[in-house]
Amino acid sequence: MPIAPRKFRKILIANRGEIACRIIWACKEMGIRTVTVHSEADRDSLHVRFADESICIGPAPSPQSYLNIPAVISAAEIANVDAIHPGYGFLAESAQFAEICEACNIKFIGPRSSVIKLMGDKVEARRAMSAAGVPILPGSKEPLESEIEALQLAREIGFPVIIKAAAGGGGRGMRIVRSEAELGPALETASNEALKAFKNGDIYIERYLERPRHIEIQVMADEFGHCVHLGERDCSIQRRHQKLLEEAPSPVMTPELRASMGEVAVAACKRVGYSNAGTVEFLLDEDGRFYFMEMNTRIQVEHPVTEMITLADIARNQIRVAEGEELAYEQQDVIFAGHAIECRINAEDPETFAPSPGLITAANIPGGIGVRVDTAIYPGYFVPPYYDSLIAKLIVHARTRELAIARMRRALEAMVIEGIKTTVPLHLKIMDDPEFQAGTYTTKFMERFLARANGGAQGRKVAAEQQAVAAR
Ligand code: MV4
C-alpha cells in the first residue's frame, strides 16, 4: 500500500535535554527530518548529536538562546522547516512566539496563539472554563481592583482564601490568607511579587482548599473539533511547586470520577477551540469534588505515565494533528491498562535540593520489563548549571500499583549516576514510605515526608504541628 506523503518534511525542535530527544525519536519514527537549536553550553548534547541538523543560537544563558525568539525564528527560516515543536518550558507557552510562528507561516506545534493567551491569563481562563460548565472554586470574576473589594469577596467566600497572580501559574506569587487582618499585607506582597516575576501585578482571590490532591486530565484535540481525554495523572507529590513524582491512574480515582472529569475537560476544550495536546489541572477535595485550577497548553514533563497506560504516543499525536490530520482514535478507543509511575531524577542534593551540576563520570541506565527512561545524559556528559536540573525521567509500568512500586524500587537501585548528586536516593525513600504506599497522600505529602525523614527535634516539631493541623 502506498504511504501518503507527510505534510511536514522537517521540524525544528526549540528545546533541549530529554524532551528534545523525545521529540527527535517521534520525528524519526514518522520519517520527518529534525533540526535542533542549541546554546554554546550544549554543543555536546544528545539533542545536537541525534538531530539531522543543529544550529547554535547563542550563549549559555537561556534568555540569550532558548528564549531568544528572533534567534529561534532565524534558525527556522535558515533551515527551512515546516514546523516548530516547542517542547515544555522555554517558549512553549509564549502566545507571542506562537503568534510570530503563525505570521511567518511556520506551524507552531500546539494550540492557536489566541488559546495560549487565554489560558495564560488565569482570571480569563477561570471565566472561560466556568462558562463551559467546568466547576471552579468560589472567587474573583475579574482581577482585584481594591482592598475593599478583596475583603468583601473574602467574606463571601469564607477564610481561608488564596491570592494568586493572574499571569502566574505553577505556584509563584501565591499567598494563603487565614484572617481579615492578614489580607491587606498579603494583597500588597502578592501583587508586588507578581509584577516583578511576570511584569503584571494583577491578582485574584479564590477559596483555599487545605488538603487537595492535584489531578490533571490529559487531552488531545485535532483541528476539526474532535477531542478526547487520556485519563488523569496524580501530581500531588511536589516540593515548592516542583513535581517530584507522578502516577497514573490516581490511587483515589474511580471510573465514574474519571469519566466526569474527562467529560468536563473535553467539553471545555471544545468550547475554546482547543487543538493539540493539553492538560486541564484540577484540585480534588476530600469529598471527591473537583475544581478547575489551570490549563497547560503544552506537552508536559509527566506525559510518559499517560503514554504507558494508554499506549498513546502523545508526541506523535501532536505532530499528526499539527499536520492537519484528524485524531486517529475516538474516546471509546482509549484503553487504560495497568499502573505507571514516573520519578523525576534531578541533578540536586537529595537532602538540601541544592543544584548539583557537573561531570557525569559513570552511569548505568536501568532497563528490563516495564521500565522506560527518558533522558539525554550519558557517561562523560557535563550537566550545565544554566538550565533546569531535570536530567532523567524514570518511568515504570506494571499491572498494579503495588507491582509498579516494586518495579520502581528495583529500577532506582539500578540507576547509577556518578560524579554528581541526584534525587535517586530520595525516590527510594518515597517508595518505602507508608503514606505513599497507601496512596492516601495529598499536596501536603512532601512537607510531612521530609519532616519524618529529618527526624530529630525539628522534624518532630514539624510533624507535631502537622498532626495538630490535620486534627482540626
Ligand atoms: C490552590 C491550592 C488550594 N486551594 N488553590 C499550587 C500550584 C498552583 N498551580 C496552585 N497551587 C495550589 N492552588 C486553591 N484554591 C493549593 C495549591 C497547592 C498545590 C497544588 C498542587 C500541588 C501542590 C501544591 C502545594 C501547595 C499548594
Give the DSSP per-residue string, 228-273.
EEEEEEEEEEEETTEEEEEEES-TT--HHHHHHHHHHHHHHHHHTT
Check pocket membership of 214 for ligand 1, CB cut-off 6 A. yes
Residue 433's identity, in one-letter code, is D
CATH number of the domain encompassing residue 198: 3.30.1490.20
Phi then psi for 284, rounded to 5 degrees?
-110, 125
Residue 416 cell numbers, joined: 547509577
Q: Do 242 and 143 share a structural domain?
A: no
Give nearest CA residue, ligand 1 atom 7: 171
Kindly state whether residue 275 falls inside one of the protein's structural domains. yes
CB atoms within 10 A of CB 361: 12
User: Strand 416-418 relative to strand 362-364: parallel, antiparallel, unpaired?
Assistant: antiparallel
Kindly state whether residue 386 falls inside one of the protein's structural domains. yes
Q: Do 387 and 448 share a structural domain?
A: yes
Taking each continuous run of H as one helix and of E as one strand, the counts in the chain are 16, 20
List the one residue out of 36, 122, 431, 465 whose CA is nearest residue 294: 122
Check pocket membership of 170 for ligand 1, CB cut-off 6 A. yes
Point out the ligand 1 atom lying closest to the alpha carbon of residue 281. 9
Kindly state whether residue 338 falls inside one of the protein's structural domains. yes
Q: Do 377 and 273 share a structural domain?
A: yes
Q: Do 64 and 172 share a structural domain?
A: no
CB atoms within 10 A of CB 65: 24
Count of domains forming the chain: 3
Q: In the chain, helix, strand, coil percent, each to 5?
A: 40, 25, 35
Check pocket membership of 296 for ligand 1, CB cut-off 6 A. no
CB atoms within 10 A of CB 302: 24
List the one residue out of 107, 116, 469 whose CA is nearest residue 323: 107
Final residue belonging to a domain, choices 158, 180, 207: 207
Kindly state whether residue 120 falls inside one of the protein's structural domains. no
Final residue belonging to a domain, choices 154, 172, 207: 207
Give nearest CA residue, ligand 1 atom 9: 170
Q: Do 155 and 49 share a structural domain?
A: no
Q: Which of 122, 207, 238 to mutate to test the pocket of ligand 1 (most atoms within 8 A of CB)?
A: 238
* DSSP annotation of 61: S
Residue 60's identity, in one-letter code, is A
Check pocket membership of 238 for ligand 1, CB cut-off 6 A. yes
Signed CA dihedral, 213, 218, 224, 226: sign only: negative
Cβ atoms of 277 and 233 closer than 8 Å: no
Cβ atoms of 277 and 218 closer than 8 Å: yes
Give nearest CA residue, ligand 1 atom 19: 443
Cβ neighbours of residue 120 under 8 Å, at least 6 residues apart? 93, 95, 167, 169, 297
CATH number of the domain encompassing residue 282: 3.30.470.20
Kindly state whether residue 279 falls inside one of the protein's structural domains. yes
Kindly state whether residue 3 falls inside one of the protein's structural domains. no
Q: Do 332 and 361 share a structural domain?
A: yes
Q: Do 441 and 305 share a structural domain?
A: yes
Q: Do 97 and 19 share a structural domain?
A: yes
Final residue belonging to a domain, choices 93, 109, 125: 109
CATH number of the domain encompassing residue 93: 3.40.50.20
Check pocket membership of 173 for ligand 1, CB cut-off 6 A. no
Give nearest CA residue, ligand 1 atom 15: 208
Known catalytic residues? 298
Q: Do 166 and 26 share a structural domain?
A: no
List the one residue out of 40, 28, 39, 27 whose CA is nearest residue 85: 27
Can you give the pLDDT of all 472 residues of the chain as single tens digits?
666 778 999 999 999 999 999 999 999 999 999 999 999 999 999 999 999 999 999 999 999 999 999 999 999 999 999 999 999 999 999 999 999 999 999 999 999 999 999 999 999 999 999 999 999 999 999 999 999 999 999 999 999 999 999 998 777 779 999 999 999 999 999 999 999 999 999 999 999 999 999 999 999 999 999 999 999 999 999 999 999 999 999 999 999 999 999 999 999 999 999 999 999 999 999 999 999 999 999 999 999 999 999 999 999 999 999 999 999 999 999 999 999 999 999 999 999 999 999 999 999 999 999 999 999 999 999 999 999 999 999 999 999 999 999 999 999 999 999 999 999 999 999 999 999 999 999 999 999 999 988 876 555 665 566 666 555 5
Q: Do 309 and 169 share a structural domain?
A: no
Q: Do 313 and 183 share a structural domain?
A: no
Residue 433 cell numbers, joined: 514510605
Q: Which domain holds residue 25?
A: 10-109
Distances (CA, A) of 218 to 88, 243, 333, 471: 15, 16, 15, 34
Q: Do 429 and 294 share a structural domain?
A: yes
Kindly state whether residue 307 falls inside one of the protein's structural domains. yes
CA angle centred on 138, ends 135 and 140, rounded to 5°: 110
Kindly state whether residue 125 falls inside one of the protein's structural domains. no
Residue position matching grid coordinates 482509549 = 334
